[in-house]
Amino acid sequence: MNRRVVLVDAVRTPFGKAGSLYSGVRADDIMVRCLRGLLERNAAIPVADFDDVAIAAATQSGDQGMNIGRSVALLAGLPNTVPGYSVDRWCAGAMTAVTTISGAISMGAYDIAIAGGVEHMGNHPMGDGIDPNPRYLAEKIVETDALNMGSTAERLHDRFPHLTKERADKYAVASQQKTAASYAAGGIQRDLIPVAIRSAELGWGVATVDEPPRPTTTLEALAALKTPFRAAGRVTAGNAAGLNDGAAAAILASEEYAIANGLTIKAKLVTFAFAGVEPEIMGYGPVPSTIKALAKAGLTIDEIGLFEVNEAFAIQVLSFLDYFGLADDDPRVNLYGGAIAVGHPLASSGVRLMINLARGFEANPQVRYGITTMCIGLGMGGTVIWENPHFEGAK
């Protein structure tokens, strides 16, 4: 059996700066609120129909541990008959939750399920509690830079010297501007689930918008920033995603189930692929994963009308665009801005890309295919190809 998988709906919480907006909130509670918001938006779906819940976190300990997929499903009010599990593929956690759930739907094991991810980098700094095997270095399996994401971005600049810091900074400014424009148009807010927050100084409040964006960013300001990963380097806090907290979740179903139950269809999954590269240039991962996914789908890059590329670092996006012959400012790329502006709470970002792509599909019925793609720590990339259900040629 090979059934078509569709994206019914997806939401996320506002993203915060690590340990700032959500400093008084547990990671699992952020995820619970996201799930509840998703269920509230889709109240016509009987909660007992959900076959599974897959939730990702890059650090699976403390308030992101104890099989967060199962624990947040129970806390969100799903019946105890609905199982759950946790996923870890670092930055591509939510993306992997989506593809894993989709595989089960495609083969007929599930009809409808939930996939998502959360990261509280304020509670769990990147690398906190990990114990890298010393053989990585002693046996020269990877370079030491592979364990520092900023250093891997510097190595991409080394490999592609024509992708300069000036180009990276210009790309970063554009991301901020597109995000600001989307907020001004009321676009991003449509898919944000408000979250109760608590501050020791200010008391209770509600998070309703992303905290990280800096809409007044200028090229001059970025040019003056320090390069923390290398003396006279090219990667700065301004042309990279920050350290962030947040969650995202999606409902996936078979096309048959969605149609039979009158559910919305925001995107149709075509195929997906993951691929590996040298860990020390992990940001290049989306190139081979996209090549692989396109081959599986029988498509060419020219047939892709919209791109959602996770902006872990500007240089990572530029290297992807450069390989496929796309301009730095290609209007099909990241219509509503990206992680450089709104943030990258590791395991949640894969679904954020899908949220933006679905909105892009809705606004562009002339586009048939789009992709969501991202780089992954230790040298990987992930790409999902989607078809637009609003495609004007499909009717």
- Catalytic site residue from 34, 91, 120, 124: 91
**Nearest in space to 247 (alpha carbons), one of 123, 80, 373:** 123
Angle (CA) 156 385 152, round 5° = 15
CA distance 251 to 39: 9
List phi, psi (to 5°) of 371.
-130, 150
Cβ neighbours of residue 32 under 8 Å, at least 6 residues apart?
72, 75, 76
CB-based contact 371:386 (threshold 8 Å):
yes
**Nearest in space to 10 (alpha carbons), one of 247, 249, 256, 308:** 249
User: 390 catalytic, yes or no?
Assistant: no
- Catalytic site residue from 120, 157, 375, 390: 375
User: 157 catalytic, yes or no?
Assistant: no
Long-range Cβ contacts of 74-81 (<8 Å, 24+ apart): 75/28, 75/29, 75/32, 76/32, 76/35, 76/36, 76/39, 77/36, 77/39, 77/47, 78/35, 78/39, 78/47, 78/50, 78/53, 79/47, 79/48, 81/48
User: 34 catalytic, yes or no?
Assistant: no
- Catalytic site residue from 120, 124, 157, 344: 344
CB-based contact 253:49 (threshold 8 Å):
no
Query: Which amino acids are annotated catalytic?
Result: 91, 344, 375
